């Protein structure tokens, strides 16, 4: 059991956790929620022993392993599968020792332990996790340093999940995932057999993957049973009762204080007055509900509503290299009040499509017809880099209203969420959520007819995401959404378009249908699926594969399988030599039994390696032919 007892944690003079306690039982799947900045990540640091607590203790069972997502993405020459496999430190150490061990007894111990931890199935398990997070078999054989930072963070997540620690701590794991990866992760966490605590603002993850909610509010930790939806109901009921109790207590306090004030000077009533003073001192204060209103998000109404269609794309090819378009022969139309969510794995062209629609990327061929005076507001997370870190929100707004009077500029700054002193805070001092709000306000400043939102929920807490969904639904123009947040899509989109296989097609099902399709496909994906093109806008820097390049991962698989066959054959030879020792079964029957078990396990592993070699060779022959 993870036991947090009466701990207080202070960071930079600010008390984030105030004498709070919670116990997490083994096997619990816990969603950790609370407003941005309240101290959730700080508690994780305290659990890992990275920061001290002022008071109290954190107790973890001594045999438990604790795992969390690395702060830095892996970046070396090793293949993705090698990076993930090395995350199991015990397996890695045993395999290295098995290569050099000569003592028969130690060989038996190593092989028995490898059997116990199911080490020989590890490559398949690692590949399945990488596959679920969006890496094809060909990707898994490539060097880690070939991928961009966001994709390498996915590798770090895969390594953490593969290690399967007894206590898994995940801090916003979906930030680097697309919707498809998020759906797979939800399913994986829902079936995680050990203890997991996940900080997340994703409602669907918290409704499908956890069975308890840990809430941090005003320095106090409270554990609720059930999903996030259940937590919201329980909390609302609890706060209503607390508010009612607080009002009742305050009335009783006033009555007792009035008696004390009236009779404390009278000798005949001194004893009764003193009794009521003691009652007041013993009365434990109840904290009344403190409303923490979320600043609303709103989009300006377009100055003029246009006639449909506002945008039509006919037989368009687009990308970054005319010889290798990311999207090819795309035909679609967007009407005045469409609400469209784009689905499809990162790397398939979603960001390329929205850049085309936003007129930030010209087509190679085909035609695009835009309504006269069409105005588009475009939001993407990478635009954070375009903000002036040494300027304030007010100064950003002033640039858009150079001739406006001070009061109007201040008013517009407040309208996008930065009123009063907040408007003069430098951008470099804003939180991630505040920067996202500023970008949203600037992108839609002049009342566009169409808003394009590319991953708008990163860094927004749950309540702010709800505010964003409300703003989208109240906006009268068209909205295009790219998001890994299923709640936002379900709340706002009435059309789903799938971007895959170099084209864009409407999807007739709902997100539940799409989820089932994604999980099924990721469980069955083979090396024949490879992405084409380099989608710069989706964050992966990867070269295009031609026919020759497709053979390279297969050659690597063949080489790896041959090396594994040689390694296991060497282990079998050592075991056979030990088993051939004279009188072994009479002299040490226990050791002989261990060696026999290890020999059987090694034989199974050899068979698997040979099957992998045969499969890789078969696929290579097809690729060559």
Note the helical H segments in 164-223. Answer: 179-190, 203-208
pLDDT of residue 293: 53
Helix, strand, coil shares, percent, the chain, to 5: 50, 20, 30
Cα–Cα dist 296/470, whole Å = 9
User: What would the two tokens of residue 64 be?
Assistant: 């438990």
Q: Which residues of 281-313 are buried (b: 16+ CB within 10 A; e: fewer)?
A: eeeeeeeeeeeeeebebbbbebeeebeebbbbb
Q: By the 8 A CB rule, do 346 and 535 touch? A: yes
Q: With 70 as the cut, is the pLDDT of residue 247 above it?
A: no
Model confidence band, residue 541 (pLDDT cutoffs 50, 70, 90): very low
Q: By the 8 A CB rule, do 488 and 459 touch? A: no
Pairing of strands 14-24, 66-68: unpaired
What are the C-alpha distances in Å from 21 to residues 6, 12, 17, 215, 227?
5, 22, 10, 12, 21
Pairing of strands 450-454, 376-380: parallel
Q: Is the peptide bond between 426 and the residue preceding it cis, with omega within 30 degrees of 0? A: no
Separation of CA 249 from chain center: 43
CB atoms within 10 A of CB 544: 14
- In DSSP terms, which residues pair with 379 in a beta bridge? 453
Model confidence band, residue 542 (pLDDT cutoffs 50, 70, 90): very low
Model confidence band, residue 446 (pLDDT cutoffs 50, 70, 90): very high
Cα–Cα dist 343/534, whole Å = 18
Q: With 80 as the cut, is the pLDDT of residue 217 above it?
A: yes
Q: Looking at 95-109, 153-167, 274-288, which range is the least confident one?
A: 274-288
Q: Structure pTM? A: 0.75
Model confidence band, residue 242 (pLDDT cutoffs 50, 70, 90): low
pLDDT of residue 411: 92
User: What would the two tokens of residue 442 be?
Assistant: 């600037």
Q: With 90 as the cut, is the pLDDT of residue 13 above it?
A: no
pLDDT tens-digit readout, 602-623: 788 788 888 888 888 888 777 7
Q: With 50 as the cut, is the pLDDT of residue 548 above it?
A: no
The DSSP code for 427 is G
User: What would the two tokens of residue 235 be?
Assistant: 């909390």
Q: With 80 as the cut, is the pLDDT of residue 471 above it?
A: yes
Q: With 60 as the cut, is the pLDDT of residue 282 above it?
A: yes
- The string of DSSP codes covering 271-285 is HHHHHHHHHHHH-PP
Q: Looking at 206-215, 287-296, 431-440, which range is the least confident one?
A: 287-296
Model confidence band, residue 266 (pLDDT cutoffs 50, 70, 90): low
Residues 6+ apart with CB under 8 A from 472: 299, 339, 451, 453, 479, 481, 488, 491, 492
Percent of the chain at pLDDT exceeding 70: 87
What are the C-alpha distances in Å from 530 to residues 135, 348, 350, 549?
9, 10, 17, 11
Percent of the chain at pLDDT exceeding 90: 45
SS3 letters for 35-54?
A: CCCCCHHHHHHHHCCCCCCC
Model confidence band, residue 534 (pLDDT cutoffs 50, 70, 90): very low
Cα–Cα dist 509/512, whole Å = 8
Q: With 60 as the cut, is the pLDDT of residue 547 above it?
A: no
Q: Which of 479, 513, 557 is nearest to 136 (CA)?
A: 557
Cα–Cα dist 460/475, whole Å = 19
Q: By the 8 A CB rule, do 482 and 407 touch? A: no
Span 589-602, average pLDDT: 78
Look at the block and give the residue holding tokens 């045999």.
63
Note the helical H segments in 309-431. Answer: 350-357, 393-400, 406-415
Q: Would you call 8 exposed, middle or buried from its count of C-beta atoms within 10 A (0-12, 13-18, 19+)? A: middle
Query: ∠47-49-50 over CA atoms, to 5°?
Result: 110
pLDDT of residue 523: 63
pLDDT of residue 341: 95
pLDDT tens-digit readout, 388-413: 999 999 999 999 999 999 999 999 99
Q: Looking at 146-155, 180-189, 253-262, which range is the least confident one?
A: 253-262
User: What would the two tokens of residue 26 be?
Assistant: 């083994």
Handedness of CA 347, 348, 350, 356 (dihedral sign): positive
Cα–Cα dist 431/355, whole Å = 26
Model confidence band, residue 249 (pLDDT cutoffs 50, 70, 90): low
Model confidence band, residue 344 (pLDDT cutoffs 50, 70, 90): very high
How many secondary structure helices (H) and strands (E) does the chain include?
21, 18
Span 343-354, average pLDDT: 91
pLDDT of residue 319: 94
Model confidence band, residue 240 (pLDDT cutoffs 50, 70, 90): low
Q: With 80 as the cut, is the pLDDT of residue 85 above it?
A: yes
Q: With 50 as the cut, is the pLDDT of residue 528 above it?
A: no
Average predicted confidence (pLDDT) for the chain = 84
Query: ∠242-247-248 over CA atoms, to 5°?
Result: 95
User: What would the two tokens of residue 242 be?
Assistant: 């607390």
Q: Which of 134, 116, 3 is nearest to 57 (CA)?
A: 3
pLDDT of residue 169: 96
Q: Is 452 helix (H, G, I), strand (E, B) or coil?
A: strand
Q: Is 545 helix (H, G, I), strand (E, B) or coil?
A: coil
Cα–Cα dist 277/258, whole Å = 11
More confidently predicted of 267 and 560: 560
pLDDT tens-digit readout, 508-520: 888 889 988 888 8
CA dihedral 65, 70, 74, 78 (to 10 degrees): 10
pLDDT tens-digit readout, 28-77: 999 999 888 889 999 999 999 999 999 999 999 998 999 998 777 888 89
Cα–Cα dist 404/415, whole Å = 15
What are the C-alpha distances in Å from 416 to residues 111, 351, 360, 429, 467?
63, 25, 25, 17, 13
Residues 6+ apart with CB under 8 A from 451: 299, 376, 377, 378, 379, 443, 444, 472, 475, 477, 478, 479, 480
Q: By the 8 A CB rule, do 463 and 425 touch? A: no
Q: Would you call 81 exposed, middle or buried from its count of C-beta atoms within 10 A (0-12, 13-18, 19+)? A: buried
């Amino acid at each position: 059991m993870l036991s947090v007892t009466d701990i207080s944690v202070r960071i930079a003079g600010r008390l984030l956790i105030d004498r709070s306690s919670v116990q997490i039982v083994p096997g619990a799947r816990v969603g950790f929620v609370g407003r941005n900045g309240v101290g959730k990540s700080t508690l994780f640091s305290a659990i890992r022993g990275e920061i001290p607590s002022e008071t109290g203790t954190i107790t973890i069972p001594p045999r438990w392993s604790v795992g969390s997502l690395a702060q830095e993405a892996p970046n070396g020459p090793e293949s993705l599968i090698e990076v993930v496999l090395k995350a199991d430190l015990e397996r890695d150490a045993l395999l290295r020792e098995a290569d050099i061990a000569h003592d028969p007894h130690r060989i038996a111990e190593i092989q028995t332990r490898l059997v116990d931890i199911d080490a020989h199935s590890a490559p398949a398990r690692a590949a399945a996790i990488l596959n679920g997070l969006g890496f094809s078999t060909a990707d898994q054989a490539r060097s880690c340093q070939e991928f961009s930072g966001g994709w390498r963070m996915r590798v770090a997540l895969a390594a953490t999940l593969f290690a399967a620690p007894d206590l898994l701590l995940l801090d916003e794991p979906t930030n680097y995932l697309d919707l498809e990866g998020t759906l797979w992760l939800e399913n994986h966490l829902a079936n995680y057999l050990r203890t997991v605590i996940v900080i997340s603002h994703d409602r669907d993850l918290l409704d499908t993957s956890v069975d308890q909610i840990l809430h941090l509010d005003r320095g106090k930790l409270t554990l609720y049973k059930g999903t996030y939806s259940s937590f919201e109901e329980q909390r609302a009921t609890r706060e209503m009762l607390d508010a009612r109790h607080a009002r009742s207590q305050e009335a009783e306090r006033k009555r007792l204080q009035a008696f004390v004030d009236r009779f404390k000077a009278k000798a005949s009533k001194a004893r009764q007055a003193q009794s009521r003073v003691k009652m007041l001192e013993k009365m434990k204060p109840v904290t009344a509900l403190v409303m923490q209103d979320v600043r609303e998000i709103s989009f300006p109404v377009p100055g003029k509503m246009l006639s449909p269609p506002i945008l039509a794309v006919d037989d368009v090819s687009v990308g970054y290299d005319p010889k290798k378009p990311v999207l090819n022969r795309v035909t679609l139309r967007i009407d005045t009040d469409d609400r469209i969510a784009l689905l499809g794995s990162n790397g398939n062209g979603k960001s390329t499509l929205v850049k085309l629609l936003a007129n930030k990327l010209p087509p190679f061929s085909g035609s695009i017809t835009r309504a006269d005076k069409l105005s588009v507001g475009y939001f993407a997370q990478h635009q954070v880099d375009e903000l002036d870190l040494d300027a304030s929100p007010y100064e950003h707004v002033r640039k858009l209203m150079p001739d406006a009077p001070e009061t109007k500029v201040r008013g517009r700054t407040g309208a996008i969420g930065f009123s009063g002193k907040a408007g003069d805070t430098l951008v470099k001092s804003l939180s991630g959520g505040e920067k996202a709000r500023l970008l949203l306000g600037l992108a839609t400043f002049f009342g566009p007819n169409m808003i394009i939102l590319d991953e708008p929920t990163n860094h927004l807490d749950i309540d702010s995401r709800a505010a964003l969904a409300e703003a989208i639904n109240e906006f009268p123009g068209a909205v295009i959404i790219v998001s890994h947040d299923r709640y936002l899509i379900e709340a706002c989109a009435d059309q789903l378009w799938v971007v895959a296989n170099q084209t864009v097609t409407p999807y007739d099902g709902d997100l539940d249908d799409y989820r089932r399709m994604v999980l099924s496909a990721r469980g069955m994906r083979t090396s024949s699926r490879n992405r084409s093109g380099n989608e710069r806008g989706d964050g992966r820097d990867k070269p295009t594969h031609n026919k020759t390049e497709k053979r390279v991962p297969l050659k690597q698989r063949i080489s790896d399988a041959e090396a594994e066959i040689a390694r296991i054959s060497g282990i079998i030879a050592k075991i056979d030599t030990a088993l051939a020792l004279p009188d072994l079964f009479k002299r040490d029957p226990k050791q002989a039994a261990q060696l026999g078990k290890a020999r059987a396990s090694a034989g199974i592993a050899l068979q698997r390696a040979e099957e992998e070699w045969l499969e890789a060779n078969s696929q290579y022959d097809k690729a060559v032919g």
